[in-house]
Chains A and B, each alone.
Chain A
Amino acid sequence: MAEKAKLIFWQALTPVHPGTGQDSGSVVDLPVAREVATGFPFIPASSLKGVLRDGREDEQANRVFGSLESAAELSLTDARVLFLPVRAYAGTFAFLTCPLVLERLRRDQKALGLSPLQAVIPTPGRTEALLGANPAIVHEGQVILEDIDLEARVGKVKDLAEELGLLVFGPEAGYFQERFALVHDDVFSYFCEMGVEIIARVKLNPESKTVVKGGLWHEEAIPAETVFSCFAIGTHGFEELERPYLQLGGQASVGRGLLRRLGGGA
């Protein structure tokens, strides 16, 4: 049977911690997984697959997800960051992406025989934010993010914002389009490094309610609202993806890693 491919989006509803299981040796004790070449955070395909499989060992699961005897009929790719929410002066937060992310998505869509993104992907300058038609994140001609001020170029990526909004969010596209900003690869890369959430955790002594020695640590998390894209490729088993919600990654028992599925057109 011919192989099919599907593009699926996952949106974080709570912070996600796809941990590396390693100490970073920096201020952050528990960093999130990042792509080696770009430094963008991602969810490894193995995490996704493990959660979708749910520990099942029956024939159906063995066929779709693989067993010692045979390989899986359904392959998943890593879920890459497509839109990163970054705190903004106006509009609460912006959905950032960059040409590298979108070109890569388009390249993969073509390679897998899916209809690729149609809209032009312009290259913003290092101090610019290219926006859709009615942005909510502009303050006096600027998009003011955490530590960086960018010149707002309203309407420059109107078609792109509309196409992406429809593709990923469907009827909910509005709140995405007014927050969408295409920024330079370096700016995006900076926020992937510096703009993610850092959560301080303490362990208390139950009697004295003071912090136990060595009981303070910092965890990184990919913030709520982040949208990831991933591909499912295979002959069978696409119905396994028909779940509206998943929970994955580390620190699950304190509520990290709740994702909702968006899109998924063949």
Chain B
Amino acid sequence: MRTFLAAFAATTILAGAAQATTVYPLDRATILAGSPFDFKVELNKQVKPEDVKIMVNGQDYRTVLGGEAQFVELEKGKDDKALGSALLLRGLKISAPGAYKVEVAAGDETKSVTWNVYETAGQPKAKNIIFLLGDGLSVAHRTAARIMSKGMTEGKANGRLNMDDLDHLAFIGTSATNAVATDSANTMSALMTGHKTAVNALGVYADRTPASLDDPRVETFGEAVRRTTKKSIGIVATAEVEDATPAAVVSHTRSRNDKADIVGMLLDVKPEVLLGGGSAYFLGKEVAGSKRKDNQDYIKLFQDAGYKLVTDKNELAANASAEGNLLGLFHTGNMDVTLDREFLKKGTVDKFPNQPGLVAMTKIALDRLSKNPDGFFLMVEGSSIDKMSHPLDWDRAVVETIEFDQAIGVAREFQKAHPDTLIVVTGDHTHGVSIIGTVDDEKPGTEMREKVGTYAEAGFPNYKDENGDGYPDKIDVSRRLFLSANNGPDHYETFRPKLDGPFVPAVQNEKKEYVANEQYKDVPGAVFVQGNLPKSSESGVHAVDDVVLQSAGPGSEEFHGYLEQSDVYRVLADTFALGAKQTN
């Protein structure tokens, strides 16, 4: 134990050194056998190529890795700052499983990392995988979704969510390679590559050079499915299709903001079904509404590649069982959230009045993908749980969770008819939110905070679902759930749902500080809540807490206890036998 602690301390000190020599993949990386990845060594000093010695398991690296790395005499950072020499070997593959100890020596610099290359089951356990990702899905979101959707009597829920009946469960750690906290890009990338990475990065290790598209790559799940199977791929999101989560199925960039490039990466992999928002990045810059900086017409490029284009829910429904690839773009940006789209008609619903929801998109994706006799991988993202949690708009975030759960219901129905399907449901990170009771308008007085009920004073909320659609008939009932954030910018708490459109808690002032949005100041009973984040924060932030993963179907038994999000990939790869010994 003492030896272990000493070793741990030594590692910690090394990791904390300002400019340690870096080897990508990082130490303790887990690599799917046969999966292509880039190998990079970043040295702190400028050296000559003959000064660099790299051994892998005691042999010259060229012998083991099967290639010669390109030597970069001097890498440069911002403002041409000299960073040191580097070696780069792209697209190498290791077929034989086992531990690979990589030792680098150059002058007085040394670095040693060990990779674990793993193979998978020889035979697939499931024909299909449906991977459902609730962006930002936290425990409070699901508890609130259950109570709001099903109700509660004498302390027992009156019904269960679809996600409540997924039988295998694990806690997932979400931290990034460069921070204890994470964003959606980094964590979905880990889920979709098996490699942890840095905040904002997708399908790459984040190297030190400023360019965002040249960082050392690792294979994505979409690419691995393409490389090793004849299965179809589907991507469904209510966000822009080039947003971090859908992008992570196929993309490689240090910056999730490279949305125009990500559209090209989606076209490279050609998922058979691609549904969501974000058409602005498909339109050439001459077109009003475009967000591209070039004149590439990706609508046409997708159509030329055999895609049928649909732009609203009627066109989508009409193409439910058609043959061929399907591109569905329903908004120039992120699609409107369920509460606005279906009930309040706020947000941008007047401009895009005929957007489908996640449930319809999931159904149609399954209809089309299931035509492939070899099976499919479908990723479905409930995107706006997160997008509404950042601005602390808890009612919208919970209604999004209900919609996400209904999409899980569609997947479960499919699984009943196709038991050779693995379903995985998880979040990519959590938010700092909890339910602490109710707000009761009937409590005496005008001060809204006096109407907050905790413990026995909370009682139960009075949402009703008389039409049985799973959503509360009214969101602004007289006794509502009270969700509260543990972090945020300065803002006004109104204790009420935001019926006029999504909440905007803070705006920037001339000092670039976010201050409480005075639009809400005069809402009766509103109280000023002083922020506890730096004034540069415009909204609430992701929490570092573990997320819950649940799963059902063949392969799901591998999810238990605690897993890093990168370990989830291994289960997916094992379920499809993507790392089985290659016979050709």
Tell whether A pairs with B.
no
> Chain A interface (Cβ within 8 Å of chain B)?
none
